Structure formats: structure tokens, C-alpha cells
Amino acid sequence: MSCRGARVGVAALAVGMSMAGPQAVVAFADSDGDAGVATSSADPRETADGAVRGDATQPRSAPQRTTARALGRLGPAASRRPSPLVAEERPQPRSRKPALPAALGRIWPQERATPLTAETTTPDPVDPAADTLESAAAGSTQPAPLSDGIGDRLSGLPASSFSDLLSGAMLMVRRSLAPKIAATAAPAVSSTADGNGAVLTSITGVPGGRSLLLTFDGPLRPGTATDLANYSVTAPNFCNPQIVTSSGPELRVVAAEYRDISTTASQVTLTLAHALLPGLFYRIFINGELPITNGNPNSNPLTGTDGVTFDGDNDDTAGGNFYGLFGAGRRLSFTDSSGDQVVLAANGGSGVNVWRELNGDIDQITVLPGASALTGSVRPGRDSDGTVYVGSVTIPVPSPLNLNGATDNLPSSFSTVPPGGLTPPPPPPTATSPDPVIATSANLPYTLNISPVSAPGIAELPGIQGGVFAQTTPSRDYPSGLWVVFGGRTNGLHNFDPSGEQSFPPSFQNNVIYVINPVDWQVWSLPWSQTDVPSSTYSPLSSTDQQYYQKGDTLYTVGGYSVPGTVNFTGNVSIRSPNIAVTSGLENLAIGQTISAVLPYPSGQEVFPSGTTITAIDIDTVTASQGAEVEASGVSLAAFTRNFTTYNTLTALSIAGLAQAVITGADVAALANIRQMSDSRLAVTGGGMAALNGRTYLVFGHNFQGGYNGATASISQVYTDEIRSFRIIDTGRTLSIAGYQALRDPVNFRRRDGNLVSIIGTAGQAELAFLGGVFTPGDNGTGYQAPIIIGPTGRADVDAAYQQFFNQYTTTDIPLYDRSSRSMYTVLIGGISLYEYSAGQFTPDTSLPWVDYVDSLARAADGSFQEYLMSSIPAVTPGGTGFFGAGSGFFANQALPTYRNGVVVLDALRGPTVLGYMYGGIYSTVPQTRGNTFRLTAATNQVFQITLTPT
């Protein structure tokens, strides 16, 4: 994720601004902070379409819509390397051209046009009087249009130290010619407020002006709207604008004025220390995160008068930062996410405003008053059909095109997104997105046999889902190694109760470390509370949905979600009685603690009403504030004083040392060598984590603060919308991170609970792939279908050409690579799926049913995908039913031939080979779990052996 020439480019900008006068000196933003990134606008020579423009009405599903136009080019083209090697960094090869060029777009738009060539192009139909009209309106001198024209051409050159220096010089010249015009008020729009937080509906500003006008779809609390710390405007730094941790020079916000313009809309006028230079796109940031989410105790995010935090990422969920690109000028040129080179121009008047997503796509075009016409052109990018959507997000702004009296002369290549977005049925199968096929020995180079393990001792294994699953290396005492399991939960799917403690009962948090010998199934266990590890250290380790990976004997784990400091105890309760006869764990209890318990599967009945607390402790009897709702003995209960949280920790520990401590009862902290650090950027749960070329990738997920209240968090839920990466500095005694970067896209990266898998890419290098995930924005969120490939250098590509049918949710995944065909296979076993298969038909089900499908997702040497549906997970008992896989762990056969990133060398296997064992996860008795999920699902202790036979 390097930015060649970025340092020189930023320096050139700084020189250009500071030389304009003493007042023009600007501050540099911290490259590891939240400062914004803008990008230089590209100015390729283009061919105007000239045809009549139409609205965007092509059928396309919501998942397809969010990827096909927003992001994603296929990964690198296949190389001729006969044997793939991992952990090798090299320049990215050129992308392949798929069969259907309209299907794809880039996630890393190069905001630099291709070099100007001698080919003949047709100029835009621009009003010859435009320069004169704008100059007169602005009160500027005639050289301003000339400098703008030179600046446009410079922005079209490839980034280099020379072009960056010229750009900085032009900024200096243009600064002295900046017109002084008051900002134009944006039109009021109807409110789209739905109780999920106000959203930004418009950004306007005059070229060369020193103010920005922000319009929101609801009233805000003035104290938050005028807090200058909530805003950041930064100039281009000639780097990928989606890397939100890299920033150009800051244009300091010196004032913020708030006003209500109606009962359903409000505006904030930002005054800047320096003028916005025409033709440049600036990065704008607006804070929408509470202190509990971003770790800043002084954070005072924009908040509606209803007390709901600003929905900055416009995902229909309260909270989340806004990042966008904004440019103003008579003529704006840029590259969108599909690689299309776009030019927009206003004939006459003060020019045009364009608000774009970080990925380059247009959210809104506003023609400033006085212009006679809006014109434009598109030069299609490679693999693009040349369609440019105006209003590109899944939940579009109410008014994506504001003409203000100008004539719309945009060609047909521009299509305005309708108010409801693009949500018709999904497209039919195509050459690049074919229907799955049934696997046979003729179309797959292997078959799988999945068999439930039945042996003495299996019944004693704990049922865990969403936990951390690691293993020690084989030794003389343990020739198959040992399985180490901690964290996760001991019940099935969470409930949908308004109370967090009833939806995620703390009594089902797994606060125990388990060590399992897979040879004789002997189990050792030790509660974290009985170790010498402090509660503040082990609370994250006992949480659910942590992100983790193992490197040799060292396990690295990040984040997770639970109630900190939860203690467990057991007791007997009588219906309507507040007294609990405690049988174990009395020493952990105190007056004032909240208590919670739910009877295990298949009962699922709550033991105490929500909010019950301990009011008295007398010998071995605890008195609760409310009577029990059941009659039961040996009930497992939890006591706690804090609320649910997503942890912001990175922990490293020795797996062998932890296993030894549990088996021998020795000092856990010393033997496991536990190191831990905290950083608000690591507060993630439900994402994926893996190592690639010396960097750790923390991919997607969300920050969930407070209890689950049936739909969202009681305090705050913010999807990261990011691929975060950093280097872990681990001395064996201390732990830190360095080189932090974040790649952001609120359209395609709003995912959690998918599968982050190691793969071998089409160029024979180690890569990562994120498959599936949930939930698309809106009230009826469902699963994602487009795979995302993270290349050796950290570049991410959304392959919108392919739509994954099965197994969208976190489950067991097994990566296989065949050197002879240079094909990558990823096996996904069970879980939750977007499609169902029956009687030869593939039927979408957006409610995401539980399934027992075994899916092999193949990626050929040319980058194309094909799914193969294999034989389903068999019943555990004859005639048995149910669905396994979601939230399970996989213990690989450590004798397998693998590449350094863990991918199995498929063509090295001879005869039937045990790949490993799937263990735990959620067991569902039915495809749809409506109602009380505790009665329909459970955390299973089932073990399945997976055997592969080459064909």
C-alpha cells in the first residue's frame, strides 16, 4: 500500500501554499491518525458521448449493485511460475480482462490519468463564454482561468517528483487568484431520518471560496455541530484516497456555524483558513463516533436533537464517520472506481461541485447558480462498460443531481440512481458468474469424505462456538499435538431480546481454557479466574468472535465481544423465590452485581428477569432483587458489574506454554508468556485476521458497544468498513504495532462474520481472500457475494464479476492449491448460506438459512471463479437432522504438505488423506431459527474428520 511520490507531492503542496503568503502556512496531519486523504484529479483526454442520458434502471441486486459499480478489479494475471512461493513481495502484474468488461471496477483507483498521447479525441462541448462569466461573477482576474487550465493538465499527468513540484507551484499561483464568493446554499431536501441517525445530504462550495456548506436530513445538537474537532479538510497527497491513515496538508477549519433550515433539515457552514483551489478534490472527514468507539475521551460527535449519533457512513445504523471527496471548479476531471476517466463541466456561472466516495464514485453533482448547462464525458476504463452512476452508494443521497436551472447535457453514459437505489432481482448467470455445478470426480480433482467421529471421550468435550482454536506442534508425548480452545460461547445463536443480557447471556461466555488430546480425547480444563492472570488481561481472551492467527507457537488475538470481569457460579433456584443456594463460586460474588442465567438447550428459559441484582449474601445463600422464573438445580449463573464491550487489545501468548500450564496446574502467566497491549484501532469483533508478507491484516468486522437489543447495540455499533494492516513488534516481553494503515470503503467493506482465507493467487504469490460475510445495509440486510482479494502488497480488489452462492457465514475453510492447473480451491463446510439447493434448483433466501452444504470455490489460473456443490455434511446419528459448521474451528493435519501460508499442496497428496478435523460451532435443528433461538440451536461438541481423495 505504498504511495510512490506521495512525500514529494505533499511537500510540493506545502511549498505552493506557504509561498502564497504568511497566512497560507498549513499544518500536516498525522499520517497514522484519522486525517483525511484527497486525491489529485485526473484529466485524460476523453471522447464525449453526446447521446441522450437515461436513468439507472438496469436490474441488479443489492449485493451486485454495491460491488459492480463501486469497486473491484480481478486480481493479478496469472504468471508462468511453476511453483508458488509465499511471503514474497513484488510489483503487481497487470490485471486480466474478463469476458464481460461491464462487470468490474477497481478498488484502488489510480487518481492519475494515463500519459497524454498523440491520439485524436473530441473535445467537450463547453460554452465559450464560460470563462468570462465565471471571472465576472468571481471578481477574479483573467489569469485565473488560464492557471486552472494548466492545473487541469498537470493533474492529468502521472505522479512524479516533477509533476508534483509543478502542481505545488500552480497552487501557489492560483492561491493569489482565488475569487472571493460566498458559499451558495444547497436546496433543502426531504428528510430521510429514520431513527438511525442523521445523514449528510449535500456538500456545496464555490471554487476558490473559503467555506463549505454541509446539509443534513435532520436537526442537530448545536454544541456538536459547531465543535471544530468534528471536522477535517485535507488537500491531495497523490496517494490512494481510500487509505485514510495517509493525509495531505490540512486546510484548518476556523469556524462552524449551525442553523436549522426546516424541521427536517439543518446546515453547518465551515469556514476554512485558506481557499479551496479549483480543480482539486479535498478529503472531508466528519466525526460520527462516540468516545467508547474511537477511544478518544474528548470525542463529541455530531448528534441529532433526538440524541442519536450521526450516521456518517450512511449504512442505516447510528454512528460511523463520514469520509468523502469534494471538488469545485468549472471543469473537474477524475477517475472512478471502475477506472472510467470522467470529466464534468459547467458552462457559465461559478462552476460545479462534485461529492465523491473515497473509491472515486459520484455521490452528488451540484451545478452552481448562473450556469447554463452541465456537460460531461466518460472514457471507459479497462473492463468497464463506461456507465457512470450519479449517486453511487447503496443508500443514495436524496438529490444526487442538482442542476439549479442549468440544462442537463450529460451524455447517456451518466445514469442517475433512483431514490430507492438499485434493488431489482439479481442478474442471470453469465460467463464470469456461472451457476454452481454439482461436484463429480470429472470436474473436481478430489472428493471429500466427511465423517462424524465417534469414540470414548468425545461426549466429554465442551461445546464451544465462536472461540479461539489453536494447536501445539506434535511432540513425543503428544504425537498429534494438542488442541487448545478458549473464548467463544457455550450456547447456540444469540437471541433477539431487547435486553443484552438475555440475548447474549453472560452465563454462556466461555471463561475456561480447554486442552484436548485428539488421540484419546482426554480433556484438561482451567477457568481463567483460577489462574494468576489478571481479570483485565483474560477478559478479552474469554470473549467471543476474536480475530486471531497462529505463527509457530505464538498465537496473536485481537478484540472480541463480551462482558468484562464476568464471574461464574452455580446454584439451586426455586420459582418465584429470590434466594439462590450457591453450590460453587461464592467467593466471586458481591452485593450489587447483576446476575443472569438461561437454562441450556433445549430449554432456553430465562432463570431471572432482566436487571436482577444481588441484594444480600448470607453464608451460602444469595438473595436476588427479583424472584426466579424456574425451578432448577445446578444452574450455571453469571455475575457482573459492567456492560458488554468490544475489546481494543492485541494479545500474544505461547500455545505450548498455555497447554502445559493447564495440564500441570502451573503458573499460566509465566508459562504462556502472555503479552498484551491496547489500541482503539484494534477494537473489532467478527472480522478476520491473518498475516501476509510481514504485515498483519485485520479485515472488516464491527465495534459493538453495549448489549445486543434485538437489532443493534444499546450504545453503539459501528462497522469498521476497513481493511486495517500493521506490523506487530513482538520482543517476547513487550508488544506493539507499527506502520498502521487503513483502507476504507463503506459500500463494499461493511462486512463481518465471513471467511478470511489464505490463498495462492493467479501470479503464484501468497494472497488473502475474504469470502461472503454479512450484512448488507438497510432493514433487510443479507449476505455478500463478491469475493475480495488482498494482494501481496495489500492492494484489495472486489471481484464483482463473480457472485458467491453458498456458505457466506464464518465456518471451517480448507485451502488447496493445484500446481499443475494453477487453480486455487477453498472448501467451505456448512454454516449459513444465501442460496438453497433443491431438486436441481438454486433459490436465493435473503434470510440466510442454516445449511449443511459443502462448497468448493475454485479460482482458475485466469482468475475466474466456479462453485462446486459437494455431498452434504452427514447426519451424526442414523436418521438424524440438523446443521453444523457456523462458528466452528478447524484443526489441520500437521503432517500435510503446505506452502508457508498454510495452503495445502493438493497435487502432492497421494491416496486418501486426512486433512483435519472440524470441531464445535453452532448446531441448528432447523433451517430458520425464528423465535427463541436458545431452544433451536446449541454449541456443539461434535468432531468431524475430513478426508480428501485425489481423482
What's the pLDDT band for 395 if we cut at 50, 70, 90? low
206-224 pLDDT, tens digit per residue, is: 999 999 999 999 999 999 9
**Residues contacting residue 109 through CB under 8 Å, at least 6 positions apart:** 240, 335, 336, 337, 339, 359, 360
> 557 versus 56: which is more confidently predicted?
557
Indicate yes or no: pTM above 0.85: no
Q: How many alpha carbons lie under 13 Å from residue 775 in its C-beta half-sphere?
A: 17
pLDDT average, residue stretch 284-308: 96
Residue 27 in this model has a pLDDT that exceeds 80: no
- Three-state DSSP at 283 gives strand
- pLDDT, residue 80, reads 34
Report the distance separating Cα 596 and Cα 575, nearest Å. 15
> How buried is 472 (Cβ within 10 angstroms: 0-12 exposed, 13-18 middle, 19+ buried)?
buried
- The DSSP code for 460 is G
Residue 139 reports pLDDT greater than 60: no
More confident residue, 571 or 88: 571
Nearest to 305 by CA among 228, 185, 225: 225
What pLDDT was estimated at residue 212?
Answer: 98
Which percentage of the chain shows pLDDT scores above 70?
78
* Residue 394 pLDDT grade (very low, low, confident, very high; cuts 50, 70, 90): low
The residue with greater pLDDT, 687 or 382, is 687
* Distances 906 to 444, 492, 690, 896, 949 between C-alpha atoms, Å: 12, 34, 21, 10, 10
pLDDT at 406 over 50: yes
Rounded to whole angstroms, the Cα distance separating 763 from 320 reads 37
Confidence of residue 99 (pLDDT cuts 50, 70, 90): very low
Q: Which residues contact 508 (CB under 8 A, 6 or more apart)?
A: 489, 490, 491, 598, 939
- Return the C-alpha torsion angle 508, 511, 515, 518, nearest 10: 10
Can you give the pLDDT at residue 780?
81
Q: Indicate the range of 178-192, 496-510, 724-738 predicted with least confidence.
A: 178-192
Q: What dihedral do alpha carbons 260, 265, 269, 270 form, nearest 10°?
A: 130
114 has a pLDDT exceeding 60: no
Task: List the single range of 11-15, 53-57, 231-235, 890-894 with lowest mean pLDDT.
Answer: 11-15
Q: How far apart are CA 283 and CA 8, in angstroms?
A: 19
Q: What is the DSSP letter of 902?
A: S
Cα-based angle 738, 744, 747 (whole degrees, multiple of 5): 160
Rounded average pLDDT over 250-254 = 97
Residue 825: its pLDDT value, please?
99
Q: What is the pLDDT of residue 931?
A: 76
* Residue in the block written with cell 460545479: 352
* H/E run at residue 500: helix 500-503
Does position 436 have pLDDT exceeding 80, yes or no?
yes
Whether 55 has a pLDDT exceeding 90, the answer reads no
Mean pLDDT of the chain: 83
Grid coordinates belonging to 606:
430465562
pLDDT exceeds 70 at position 117:
no
Give residue 130's pLDDT band: very low, low, confident or very high (50, 70, 90): very low
Q: What is the distance between the alpha carbons of residues 494 and 753, in angstroms, rounded to a whole number?
A: 14
Q: Which of 838, 851, 847 is nearest to 884 (CA)?
A: 851
The reported pLDDT for the residue numbered 3 is 59
675-678 and 649-654 strand pairing: antiparallel
Q: How many residues does the chain have?
A: 951
Q: If we measure between CA atoms, which residue out of 400, 436, 445 comes closest to residue 418?
A: 400
Out of 46-55, 314-323, 682-691, 860-869, least confident range? 46-55
Query: How far, in Å, CA of 386 to CA of 341, rounded?
Result: 9
pLDDT over 90, % of the chain: 71
DSSP string, 529-591: GGSSS-HHHHHHHTSBS-EEEEETTEEEEE--EE-TT-EEEEEEE-BT--EEEEEE-GGG--T
Lowest mean pLDDT among 162-171, 244-253, 922-931: 162-171
788 pLDDT more than 70: yes
Give the model's pLDDT for residue 184: 41
Distance of CA 728 to the CA centre of its chain: 21
Give kind and range of the element (H or E) at residue 203: strand 200-204
- Has residue 127 got a pLDDT over 50? no
Which has more pLDDT, 889 or 114?
889
pLDDT of residue 95: 32
The residue-averaged pLDDT of 77-86 equals 37
As given in the structure block, the three cell numbers for residue 398 are 436524496
Of residues 283, 408, 413, the one with CA closest to residue 345:
408
Is it the case that residue 5 has pLDDT exceeding 60?
no
Average pLDDT (335-347) is: 95
For cell 445530504, name the residue: 201
pLDDT of residue 431: 66
Count the neighbouring beta carbons within 10 Å of the beta carbon of residue 927: 16
Q: Residue 427: is it exposed, middle or buried by C-beta count within 10 angstroms (0-12/13-18/19+)? A: middle
DSSP 3-state assignment of 7?
Answer: helix
Averaged pLDDT for residues 20-24: 29
Q: How many helices (H) and strands (E) does the chain have?
A: 11, 56
> If DSSP codes are grouped into helix, strand and coil, which group holds residue 322?
strand
281 strand-pairing partners: 327
* Amino acid present at 46: E
- Whole-number pLDDT of residue 778: 77
Separation CA 600–CA 175 (nearest Å):
69
Dist. CA 707–CA 301, nearest whole Å? 21
Distance CA 206, CA 201 (A): 17
Mean pLDDT within 4-22: 36
Neighbours of 633 (CB within 10 A): 11
Query: What integer is the mean pLDDT of 228-240?
Result: 92
What are the start-end ranges of the H helices in 156-258? Answer: 161-176, 222-225
237 vs 790, which has greater pLDDT? Answer: 790
**CA 21, CA 43: separation in Å to the nearest integer?**
29
On the question of pLDDT at 142 being above 70, the answer is: no
Q: Once rounded to an integer, what is the mean pLDDT over residues 257-284?
A: 96
Q: How confident is the model at residue 397 (pLDDT cuts 50, 70, 90)?
A: confident
- The residues, any chain, with a CB within 8 Å of residue 619's CB and separated by 6 or more, are none
pLDDT for the residue 423: 52
Contact 276, 210 (CB under 8 A): yes
For 254, the grid coordinates are: 476556523
| Amino acid 879: pLDDT | 83
> Poorest-confidence range of 292-296, 396-400, 435-439?
396-400
- Distance from C-alpha of 872 to C-alpha of 361, rounded to nearest angstrom: 41
Q: Residue 618: is it exposed, middle or buried by C-beta count within 10 angstroms (0-12/13-18/19+)?
A: exposed
pLDDT of res. 422: 63
Which three-class secondary structure state does DSSP give residue 11? helix
365-388 pLDDT per residue, tens:
999 999 999 999 999 998 888 999
pLDDT band at 880 (very low <50, low <70, confident <90, very high): confident
